[in-house]
Structure 1
Amino acid sequence: MTHSNSGKFMTAREAAALIRDGDTVGLMGGGGGLMEATHLFEAVQARFLETEAPRGLTVMHALGIGDKKTKGMNCFAHEGLVKRVIGGHWVWSPAMQRLAEEEKIEAYILPGGVSSQLMREIGAGRPGLFTHVGLGTVCDPRQGGGRMNASAREDLAEVVQMDGREYLRYKPFPIHVALVRASAADEDGNISFEHEAANLDAQSLALAARNSGGKVIVQVKERVSNGSLKAREVRIPSAWVDAIVVDPAQATSYAIPFDPAFSGELTGGARRDSEATDHAMEKAASAEAFGERQAVARRAAEELFNTGKARPVVNYGVGVPDAVARLVALRGDSGRIYQTIEHGTYGGLLMDGELFGYARNASAMLDAATQFDFYAGGGLDIAFLGFGEFDEEGSVNVSRLGGFTVGPGGFIDIAQNARKVVFCGTFAAKGVKLVTGDGTLRVTQQGAVKKLVQRVDQVTFSGPQSIVRGQEVLYLTERASFRLMQGGVELFEIAPGVDLDRDVLAEMGFAPRIAKDLAVMPARFFNAAG
């Protein structure tokens, strides 16, 4: 659009010019284009490629941003443009991962929830975020302090004692520029999220920049007249906003131009029609070829109603937990749980893959910081999460795999605070060949990568800390099931058809305890007919 001589509206190029060398820039997004200010990101990249400015930025983001190719954080993955990245989840930008691996930037991670909450603390002028979240993990200064490469030398947190208990204080820092995504702005600059598929940490990020004396730059799809937005629809007031860029091409995701089912705008008959479509989508998904993922999902789903709660509050992570969520929906059990995701959404049909974080026909959408407050305070009854590897102490690594910075996203906030945690994943990786579907599981070729190791490469979930907190923790694979006990991991279940010594114990990096009443999983988990 052309430049406006009045108010806060400007072009993306003009907005990008507001960023100075050395600024700390806060970004938002949830992977796959969820609430990503794509137009602004591309404008910053274009300016740098044309002028080599701005330089030396510190970039912070709570969740994953990008498409694993050219969008999102990939726009910032240029040597010289950034000097430091504090990222919650890195896999959406292989280019930024390479810069970290090659020591071209200082690479750090923070838990996704901690990032959102820290923005709020910065905005409120408080002395950082005091929390138990991250104790005993890579974010604890005794375990790495969030540093992910040799170029990163600072600890992002420090250990403090209060009332005889340990906490982490995540240190505050000013946010010079916030690049925020929303739906609409009125002429005065009031901002609405009404067509967005989540709220994420937009409000916390804007608050942090506003009260740091920085710039709040908002990308919206449309400019509306004053009086068009109801007061309760305004999520960021004009008083916080410095610049607004209109992008008429702004989409729900990279792949979806706009769908009101994702923004929660459907009601009445329209919503029922959309939910019927969701049901058809789930039935189609059930036609996937049966394999070890489905076997693990069936076993994991057995734990859903063993929490002591009539209607438990549940969170699903990525990977095999996707299959658990799909199975629960297919069985018609969604109404028996309160389904949540860390992005702030409740209910609905969860998407997976590149649309993880989206939900069709959600029942509620909260800000991410509030959702993480709910988790941190103990509101989550059970979480189904993936694992990269786990060890004899029950510690899990998902944040650094194969030498690459992956980041935890919301994993640490969720895993550390759920009353019951069910880690779901395959037993091994790379080259594994299995035969199943007839009520048994047979291993015809072992994997080259062992995922059950003596010591994890990085602690993203601490088994010893979990024992102190009194959590119930399970590790479920297609071959065997384990649980966390005082003193370490115990094997309590194996799959029918699996040879305990050859297929399980010989393929582990440690010798687990073996339960006296070692059981065999029911054949129905391994029957393709269900």
Structure 2
Amino acid sequence: MANATKPSAASKFMSADEAAALIRNGDTVALMGGGGGLMEATCLFQAVERRFLATQAPRDLTVVHALGIGDKGYRGMNCFAHEGLVRKVVGGHWVWSPRMQQLAREEKIAAYILPGGVSSQLLREIGGARPGLITHVGLGTVCDPRHGGGRMNASATEDLAEVITLDGREYLRYKPYPVHVALVRASAADEDGNISFEHEAANLDATAIALAARSSGGQVIVQVKERLPRGALKAREVRLPAAWVSAIVVDPTQSTSYDIPFDASLSGELTGSDRLAIDAQEACATTEEPINAPFGERQAVARRAACELFKGAVVNYGVGVPDAVAKLVVRRDELGLIHQTIEHGTYGGSLLDGVLFGYARNATAMLDAPTQFDFYAGGGLDIAFLGFGEFDAQGNVNVSRLGGLTVGPGGFIDIAQNARKVVFCGTFAAKGVQLHTGDGELRVARQGSVRKLVQAVEQITFSGPQALVRGQQALYLTERANFRLTPEGVELFEIAPGVDLQRDVLDQMGFAPRLAPDIRVMPRSHFLREDDRFGALS
């Protein structure tokens, strides 16, 4: 019998609209991206939206993504935020798509969350045809079926995980699912269909979602910026081999981020004198908060948080106030004294923040995100600096659901649950707060109307009781007072100079904390406006 004719490699190249037509009603579609346009297949996302608005197809998709994707406007997950286009979303982080959050609030989709690392690693397990992901990550949190099972609204009725016991120890088994389509972003494809990530600012979970689709018999659709001749790519430059790839779309307008066309320092391609020429302060000037931002409570919290650092520490920074800790380390010229990581898979470099969180200028290494999360889950982090939405008397922290709105944890659960020490950094209260500082003291002129220290959090994204079982250290740092986790609950052990303990702290809390027998006053230097050039690691 004659061999069937295989499609030529050239037939894999097609337009974005042709690629979008490969998605069928009811498919499960895996997306990648990290906010700000990081490795986002924007052209493909827009083609799916364009097809749906014109034809009302495809319909009833299940969309899965590990990290936040979008711009809070019309890009990223916002392209999929149409009633009828999706019926179910399993997202690691939702804040970049207010439209999708609204669909969840209105019960027009089934809304779920998973830890970002778990989501990426589960896709890798699906790619290997294994029976899901078995891990300790998520125990005692909203992802534990005993605490919500990842369900974020009434339309979400499934448990994404189950509790199992192995050798007398509890684990969660996150259940596998078929992936019908993977929408992947990369830099270039050669004529045979081999794929390179050379000019990307991260790897994220591209390999994992492609494997998951391939194992499921689905389509791997890759958006690239350029088409290269056969043989143009070295074997070690190929991250997705042609055998994995179903379709390729060339988008010559593809950019490093939504607003940056291309920057070799973000893709880690600079070496030698070219790399040294980029000063760290110049790098931070492109972020939302300049390195020399006006002094305020964020900087005061950062100075206290930085006291937990030590030489050689492996650290992770989350979004929000922890950004200020990262900037302080750069300002003190201490970056080379620690090992800086972020969950996107990046080591070293100058971290960008705000909409560009996930990018690092002149990174020293870039790994796949599932591998980075393996490192975290295995106990590789010494210290994690993370934000908080609210925390309670038991030391539980909520960042995943605030005011009834689906937010999602991103990599928060994977990181917070596995760092030897977790330092939660945030402001004491919200909405209407007025503070005065900069002269060595902190004075509260107006209390906030929203309490962040509550009797019980709305949702458990970090479990204080589980942290005690694991032997973790946990600190909760604010500009007014600092707390630590003890077997008896949260204990207040430091206050800011100038703060009235009863009026400004205890009366503004939703619970009565344990009081340390020797409550200390934080150093006045944390609250001085002058430039803080020298740190504890120097």
Give the TM-score normalised by structure 2: 0.96
Among 103, 112, 115, the alignment partner of 1:99 is 103
Q: Relative to structure 1, is the Cα distance of residues 453 and 277 closer, same or farther in structure 2, using a 3 angstrom cutoff?
A: closer
Give the CA deviation at 1:278: 3.9
Counterpart residue identity of residue 395, structure 1: N
Q: What is the SS of the residue equivalent to 1:7?
A: helix
* 1:197-346 aligned within 5 A: 197-275=201-279, 278=282, 281=285, 285-305=290-310, 310-346=311-347
- Aligned partners of 2:183 and 2:222 also within 8 Å: yes
Give the Cα separation in 2 of the matches to 1:400 and 1:394.
17
1:19-34 aligned at under 5 Å gives the runs: 19-34=23-38
Structure 1 counterpart of 2:444: 443
Which runs of 5 or more residues in structure 1 are unaligned?
none
1:84-483 to structure 2, matched below 5 A, reads: 84-275=88-279, 278=282, 281=285, 285-305=290-310, 310-483=311-484
* Equivalent-residue separation in structure 2 for 1:40 and 1:459 (angstroms): 35
Structure 1 residues 276 and 382, CA gap change in structure 2 (3 angstroms) = closer
Amino acid in the other structure paired with 1:101: R
* C-alpha distance 223-413 of structure 1, shift in aligned 2 (>3 A): same
3-state SS of 2:183 partner: strand
2:281 & 2:396 partners in 1: Cα distance? 40
Matched, 1:508 2:512: no
1:268 Cα offset (Å): 1.1
Q: 2:400 and 2:280 mapped to 1: Cα distance?
A: 38
8 Å Cα contact 2:160-2:174 kept in structure 1: yes
Structure 2: distance between partners of 1:334 and 1:517: 33
- What's the offset of the Cα at 1:201? 0.1
Per the alignment, in what secondary structure is the counterpart of residue 6 of structure 1? helix
For 1:76, the aligned partner's letter is F
Determine if contact 2:149/2:160 at 8 Å carries over to the other structure: yes
State the match for 2:535 in structure 1. Answer: none
Aligned residues of 2:178 and 2:216 also touching (Cα < 8 A): yes
Counterpart of 1:370 in structure 2: which amino acid? T
Residue 495 (structure 1) shift: 0.3
The superposition leaves residues 138-172 of structure 1 with CA deviations (integer Å, 9 ceiling, x where unpaired) of 00000000000000000000000001100000000
SS of equivalent residue, structure 2 residue 131: coil
1:265-314 superposed Cα distances (whole Å, 9 cap, x missing partner): 01111111124664684999343111100100011011112xxxx40100
- Superposition pairs for residues 6-45 of structure 1, below 5 Å? 6-45=10-49
Shift of 1:402: 1.3
The offset of 1:403, in angstroms, is 1.0
Using the alignment, how far apart are the partners of 2:416 and 2:500 within structure 1?
31
- 8 Å CA contact 2:10–2:192 kept in 1: the answer is no
Distance 1:276 1:505, change over 3 A: closer
String of CA shifts for 1:389-433, please: whole Å, max 9, x gaps: 000000000000111100000000000000000000000000001
| Aligned-partner SS, 1:13 | helix
- Whether the 8 Å contact between 1:67 and 1:92 is mirrored in structure 2 is yes
- Structure 2 letter corresponding to 1:458: Q
Q: Hey, what's the Cα distance between the residues in 2 that align with 1:357 and 1:286? A: 17
Superposed displacement of residue 107, structure 1: 0.1
**Per the alignment, do residues 193 and 298 of structure 1 end up closer, same or farther by CA in structure 2, a change over 3 Å counting?**
same
Structure 2: state its 5+ residue gaps.
Answer: 1-7, 533-538
Alpha-carbon distance in 2 for matches of 1:69, 1:509: 35
Q: Is the 8 A contact 2:281 2:291 kept in 1?
A: no
Q: Give the residue type in structure 1 aligned to 2:382.
A: D
- Change in CA separation of 1:516 and 1:76 when aligned onto 2, cut-off 3 Å: same
Give the match's secondary structure for 1:153.
coil
Q: Deviations over 1:324-346 (max 9, x none)?
A: 00001110110110000000000
Q: 1:138 and 1:205 mapped to 2: Cα distance?
A: 24
2:182/2:221 contact within 8 Å kept: yes
CA distance in 1, matches of 2:205, 2:256: 17
1:271 is paired with a residue whose SS is helix
In 2, Cα distance between equivalents of 1:376 and 1:268: 34
Cα distance in 1 for partners of 2:475, 2:351 equals 23
**Cα distance in 2 between the residues matched to 1:391 and 1:297:** 22
The AA in structure 2 aligned to 1:421 is: V
Aligned to 1:63: 67
Deviation, structure 1 residue 487? 2.1
Q: CA deviation at 1:7?
A: 2.6
Provide the C-alpha distance between the structure 2 equivalents of 1:5 and 1:51, rounded to a whole number of angstroms. 30
Give the Cα separation in 1 of the matches to 2:42 and 2:191.
22
Q: Deviations over 1:91-110 (max 9, x none)?
A: 00000000000000000000
Kept in 1: contact 2:10–2:191 (CA 8 A) = no
Residues 282 and 330, structure 1, Cα contact 8 Å, conserved in 2: no
Once the two structures are aligned, what percentage of the paired residues are identical? 76
Match for 1:24: what amino acid?
Answer: T
Give per-residue Cα distances to partners, 1:451-493, cap 9 Å, x unaligned.
0000000000000000000001000000000000002100000
On the 8 A contact 2:398/2:457 being kept in 1, the answer is yes
Aligned length, in residue pairs: 523
Contact between 1:87 and 1:110, CA under 8 Å: does it hold in 2?
A: yes
Is the 1:278–1:349 contact (alpha carbons within 8 Å) kept by the matching residues of 2? no
Question: In the alignment, residue 301 of structure 1 is paired with which amino acid?
Answer: A
Letter in 2 for 1:92: W
Report the RMSD for the aligned CA atoms in angstroms. Answer: 1.3
Q: Give the 3 Å change call, closer, same or farther, for CA 166–39 of structure 1 in structure 2.
A: same
Is 1:282–1:329's contact at 8 Å kept on the other side of the alignment? no
CA contact (8 A) 2:9 2:192 kept: no
- The letter for the 2-side match of 1:44 is V
CA apart distance, 1:5: 9.5
1:253 maps to a residue whose letter is S
* Corresponding letter in the other structure for 2:357: F
